[in-house]
């Protein structure tokens, strides 16, 4: 195959650019451009703007929030006990709007449920307050090109065409469209078990992605509102969605709920019902990755019709004919959401790849990615493949239990493209792990970390991959974010910051476990500290830690700290014992007695406050930088 010389290609691009941009507006370029105003995009835009970077979001619809709002998935999955960063701010805004936290517990699938239109209003209000943030609605990315280290981006807005030269671009699209256009290497579908070393991955790789869903928001009209029978309606597609006389041979892997339980699964405030039902409901298998706009629109007509068929089944076969599509939610002619709920996108090849083993055994992996974490999640691995024709050939990953986890920074930095950050569901994780990182609170945190990373690159005039991991983490902590998912230390605790900082050094390690439906990690703050648990100090300081399960006394730790101080030449403002007493008093610990055995929280706070090991820089793979 003949390839045109690079100089000719560049000349051809410039000629096309000149022809297509005649009369365009060369507006003042943002420093950070975010393509997509979805769950990660709006969070990235707000965090970048708050950091002082001149930021712009371009969004194809006239809503913000993506899957949270525009797709109608307004029942939050997970992170109820970890209100990290902007996710916590959004949750607090919902609580304020509806009056109290209990008002959000309307259905049984989630502790946080709200009307999609309300979520959009809240996000629109927050973004409007940010002076460094501009949002262009009904706008599309027409072209993107990088030459001589400089981005040239053409945006079509309703009023004009903009030519922009941002420093940093964040791909917050639903399907990784920007990464695709930029030539980022990526995967689609399931990797093989040999590739990822995940026990639950398939033996052979495939290109199967999760089902998408056209969600429906219903409300009770108090009268018969049965819709006309949709084209190709077949009740057998839904007969075992719940308990009913038509269901003769239910899938033994599925739980068969009563019909009222199915409807109230996603009950929202003001007596509305989110229909996002995974058991022979409105999930639909469709792979739109890399398809053009026309092909996507044509294919999505079938997904929409599938949802309408399910609504008709609910009305006609289940006798719930007073429930119909809400006419006060979405500004669409068909009353369906603005976009479908995409559970899976392409997944970039990032500077690191986060696989299931990093969740199950974070401390034994060759790459110490837990030291670079910027977001937390606690939802199980949940894959939707119910509508895939050969679903029986795929791993059954329906609420697969895992510990809670921290998500590393490097998953959003592509390997081969500078000046680009990838967010939303296109980050560098395995197909298996996407089943938990795709959930709303995690994606919102991904966006916040992406915005901070971009703003720091702008502020420090450096490449994205050269931004300090610790500076990103410190900024996140200052904004109320979790780095690691410790359940025994809430944000309001005086121990929160010291334990988060010590946790990502690896000096003291948390314990992850699964308890029923709950995925957890505990610092074990009140447990007595054993010598063997301090082995992480050896990876930072030139000391030897006894490999014994003997408890450590306060005096033992002070002697060890004194040894490290002398080696590291750490200046103390006061004599060590006096300094330790002050720390005990400040943090409200029990009486100071050097012969007392230490708890893990006492040791963590002392090490953090005196040695400050968090300042020791790590690279993107968690290695300490000497």
- Give 339-361 as a DSSP string: S-B-----EE-BSS-B-HHHHH-
- For residue 107, pLDDT over 60 is answered with yes
CA–CA dist 310, 336 (Å, integer): 13
The tens digit of pLDDT for each residue in 191-243 reads 999 999 999 999 999 999 999 999 999 999 999 999 999 999 999 999 999 99
Q: Are 446 and 426 in contact (CB under 8 A)?
A: no
- For residue 190, pLDDT over 80 is answered with yes
Counting DSSP H helices and E strands in the chain, the numbers are 16, 20
| Dihedral angle sign, alpha carbons of residues 331, 334, 339, 344 | positive
Q: In the structure, what pLDDT confidence band is assigned to residue 27 with cuts at 50, 70 and 90?
A: low
Task: Report the pLDDT value the prediction gives residue 11, as an integer from 0 to 100.
Answer: 47
Task: Report the pLDDT value the prediction gives residue 516, as an integer from 0 to 100.
Answer: 83
The tens digit of pLDDT for each residue in 524-541 reads 999 999 999 999 999 999
Tokens 């998912």 belong to residue: 485
Q: In the structure, what pLDDT confidence band is assigned to residue 25 with cuts at 50, 70 and 90?
A: low
Specify the DSSP element, H or E, that contains 459: helix 440-460
**For the residues 470-479, what does the mean pLDDT come to?**
98
Specify the DSSP element, H or E, that contains 96: helix 85-98
Record: fold of 32-190+345-358+405-478 = FAD/NAD(P)-binding domain (3.50.50)
The tens digit of pLDDT for each residue in 399-440 reads 999 999 999 999 999 999 999 999 999 999 999 999 999 999
CA–CA dist 304, 52 (Å, integer): 41
The tens digit of pLDDT for each residue in 334-366 reads 999 999 999 999 999 999 999 999 999 999 999
The average confidence (pLDDT) of the chain is: 94
CA–CA dist 602, 596 (Å, integer): 11
Up-side HSE of residue 322: CA atoms within 13 Å toward CB? Answer: 6
Q: In the structure, what pLDDT confidence band is assigned to residue 24 with cuts at 50, 70 and 90?
A: low
> Tell me, what DSSP letter sits at residue 530?
B
Q: Which of 116-120, 209-213, 569-573, 581-585 has the lowest mean pLDDT?
A: 569-573
> Tell me, what DSSP letter sits at residue 431?
H
Note the pTM of the prediction, 2 decimals: 0.94
The CA angle 8-12-16, to the nearest 5 degrees, is 175
**For the residues 574-593, what does the mean pLDDT come to?**
93
The pLDDT > 90 percentage for the chain reads 91
Strand runs labelled E in 419-550: 420-422, 511-515, 518-522
Least Cα distance to 166 among 391, 411, 523, 455 occurs for 455
Domain boundaries, the chain: 32-190+345-358+405-478, 212-325, 525-615
Q: In the structure, what pLDDT confidence band is assigned to residue 320 with cuts at 50, 70 and 90?
A: very high
Task: Report the pLDDT value the prediction gives residue 569, as an integer from 0 to 100.
Answer: 84
DSSP secondary structure string for all residues of 123-166: HHHHHHT-TTEEEESS-EEEEEEEETTEEEEEEE-SS-EEEE--
- For residue 144, pLDDT over 70 is answered with yes
């Amino acid at each position: 195959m003949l390839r045109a010389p690079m100089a000719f290609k560049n000349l051809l691009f410039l000629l096309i650019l000149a022809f297509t941009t005649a009369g365009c507006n060369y507006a003042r370029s943002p420093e950070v451009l975010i393509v997509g105003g979805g769950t990660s995009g709006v969070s990235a835009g707000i965090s970048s703007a708050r950091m002082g970077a001149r930021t712009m979001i371009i969004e194809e619809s006239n809503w913000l929030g993506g899957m949270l709002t525009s797709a109608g998935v307004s029942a939050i999955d997970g992170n109820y006990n970890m209100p990290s960063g902007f996710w916590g701010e959004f949750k607090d805004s919902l609580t304020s709007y509806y009056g109290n936290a209990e008002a959000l517990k309307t259905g049984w699938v989630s502790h946080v449920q709200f009307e999609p239109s309300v979520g959009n209003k809240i996000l629109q209000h927050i973004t409007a307050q940010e002076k460094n943030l501009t949002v262009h609605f009904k706008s599309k990315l027409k072209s993107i090109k990088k030459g001589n280290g400089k981005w040239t981006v053409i945006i079509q807005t309703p009023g004009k065409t903009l030519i922009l030269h941002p420093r940093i671009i964040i791909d917050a699209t639903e399907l990784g469209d920007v990464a695709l256009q930029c030539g980022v290497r990526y995967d689609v579908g399931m990797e093989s078990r040999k590739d990822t070393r995940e026990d639950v991955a398939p033996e052979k790789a495939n290109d199967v992605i999760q089902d998408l869903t056209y969600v429906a928001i219903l409300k009770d009209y108090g009268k018969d509102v049965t819709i006309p029978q949709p084209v190709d309606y077949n009740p057998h597609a839904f007969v075992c969605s719940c308990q009913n006389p038509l269901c003769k041979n239910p899938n033994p892997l599925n739980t068969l709920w009563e019909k009222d339980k199915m409807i109230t699964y996603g009950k929202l405030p003001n007596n509305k019902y989110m229909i996002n039902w995974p058991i022979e409901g409105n999930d639909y298998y469709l792979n739109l990755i890399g398809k053009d706009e026309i092909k996507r629109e044509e294919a999505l007509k079938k997904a929409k019709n599938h949802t309408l068929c399910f609504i008709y089944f609910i009305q006609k076969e289940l006798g719930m004919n007073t429930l119909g599509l809400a006419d006060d939610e979405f500004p669409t002619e068909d009353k369906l959401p603005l976009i479908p709920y995409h559970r899976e996108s392409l997944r970039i090849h990032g500077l690191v790849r986060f696989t299931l083993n990093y969740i199950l055994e974070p401390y034994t992996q060759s790459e110490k990615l837990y030291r670079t974490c910027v977001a937390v999640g606690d939802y199980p691995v949940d894959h939707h493949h119910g509508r895939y024709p050969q679903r029986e050939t795929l791993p059954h990953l329906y609420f697969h239990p895992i510990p809670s986890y921290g998500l590393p920074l490097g998953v959003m930095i592509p390997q081969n493209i500078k000046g680009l950050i990838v967010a939303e569901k296109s980050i560098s994780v395995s197909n298996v792990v996407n089943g938990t990182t795709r959930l709303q609170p995690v994606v919102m945190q991904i966006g916040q970390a992406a915005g901070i990373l971009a703003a720091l690159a702008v502020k420090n005039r450096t490449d994205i991959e050269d931004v300090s991991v610790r500076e990103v983490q410190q900024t996140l902590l200052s904004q109320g974010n979790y780095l690691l998912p410790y359940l025994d230390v809430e944000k309001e605790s005086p121990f929160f910051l010291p334990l988060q900082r010590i946790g990502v050094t690896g000096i003291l390690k948390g314990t992850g476990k699964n308890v029923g439906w709950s995925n957890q990690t505990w610092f074990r703050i009140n447990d007595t500290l054993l010598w063997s648990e301090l082995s992480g100090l050896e990876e930072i300081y030139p000391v030897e830690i006894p490999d014994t399960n003997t408890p450590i006394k306060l005096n033992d730790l002070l002697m060890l700290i004194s040894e490290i101080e002398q080696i590291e030449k750490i200046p103390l403002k006061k004599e060590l014992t006096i300094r330790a007493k002050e720390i005990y008093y400040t943090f409200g610990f029990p009486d100071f007695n050097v012969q007392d055995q230490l708890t893990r929280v006492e040791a963590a706070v002392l090490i953090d406050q005196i040695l400050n090991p968090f300042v020791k820089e790590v690279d993107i793979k968690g290695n300490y930088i000497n």
